Amino acid sequence: MPASSEMTSLRRPAANDPFARIAAIGVVPVIAIENAEDAIPLADALLEGGLPVAEITFRTKAAARVLAKLSAERPHLLAGAGTVLDLASLEAARESGAQFAVAPGFDARIVEAAAKRGFSFAPGVMTPSDISAAAAHGVRVAKFFPAGAAGGPKALEAIAAPFAHLGFAFMPTGGVSFDNLDDWLKLNSVIAVGGTWIARPQDIREGRFAEIAKRARAAMEKAKALREARA
């Protein structure tokens, strides 16, 4: 399925758009970090691996503090907030310096609040009805979640087809791994994948930052090779 002109623009948009930067990177590590003191070693591991982005999920109490540290001490890392389920979390993410936010589902209140504040936000979608609701609120980038349980790449390819002319783009998350990331990135509608395999909570707790850097580098090399092969 060829990309529409709008989809092409999503793949090469203005450099100051967080989702444009994410599209250029292709992989977003989804991270639940329990201790804010691990924020900088984690950021340095990702940067060493050539992966300058992180989605810090609001599944832990440390999330806002982690984002604040990253914003202050590693501003060249594109740090965003994940699992933004309510307006309080959206405000906490913004106040902590997050440059974007994502959610596992669609909540019109959060989409509208983010748009009003000019804050880049990608809600979660899984069905055509979800996408229709998101599109009606001006959304053009959404998280496809849970990507594996929802049917994998073939399901997204079929679901996305009717919305291609809108330039609607997806970031599949949930069930994405190093082994299958190329199956996702080959889809025209996918600008990036999100995954937890790069920086797992246990690896962070145990200080295995060299291993995190290694996984980040491998993911970036695989994504880059795939895109160069398609060019």
| Tens digits of residue pLDDT in 141-200 | 999 999 999 999 999 999 999 999 999 999 999 999 999 999 999 999 999 999 999 999
> Measuring CA to CA, which residue among 36, 83, 97, 75 is closest to residue 55?
83
Range list of H helices, the chain: 5-11, 18-25, 39-48, 63-73, 87-95, 108-116, 128-136, 152-160, 181-185, 201-205, 209-230
Residue of 34, 55, 69, 116 marked catalytic: 55
Q: Which of 6, 95, 112, 143 is catalytic?
A: 143
Is 121 domain-assigned? yes
Query: What domain count does the chain have?
Result: 1
> Is 143 designated active site?
yes
pLDDT at res. 14: 47
Query: For residue 186, what is the domain's CATH number?
Result: 3.20.20.70
Domain encompassing residue 26? 5-224
Look at residue 120 in the predicted model and tell me its pLDDT.
97
**pTM of whole model > 0.95?**
no
Active site residue 116: no
The model's pLDDT over 82-140, given as tens digits with 9 standing for 90+, comes to: 999 999 999 999 999 999 999 999 999 999 999 999 999 999 999 999 999 999 999 99
**SS3 at position 13:** coil
CA neighbor of 110 nearest in space, from 129, 82, 132:
82
Q: Indicate left, alpha or beta for 135 from its phi (over 0: left) and psi (-120 to 50: alpha).
A: alpha
Residue 102 DSSP SS3: strand
Cis peptide before 13 (omega within 30 of 0): no
In a domain, 229, yes or no: no
Answer whether residue 187 is part of any domain.
yes
Report the SS3 class of residue 10: helix
Residue 8 has pLDDT above 50, yes or no: no
Stronger pLDDT, 75 or 226, i.e. the higher one: 75
Residue 200 to residue 187: CA distance in whole angstroms: 26
**pLDDT single digits (tens) 16-60:** 789 999 999 999 999 999 999 999 999 999 999 999 999 999 999
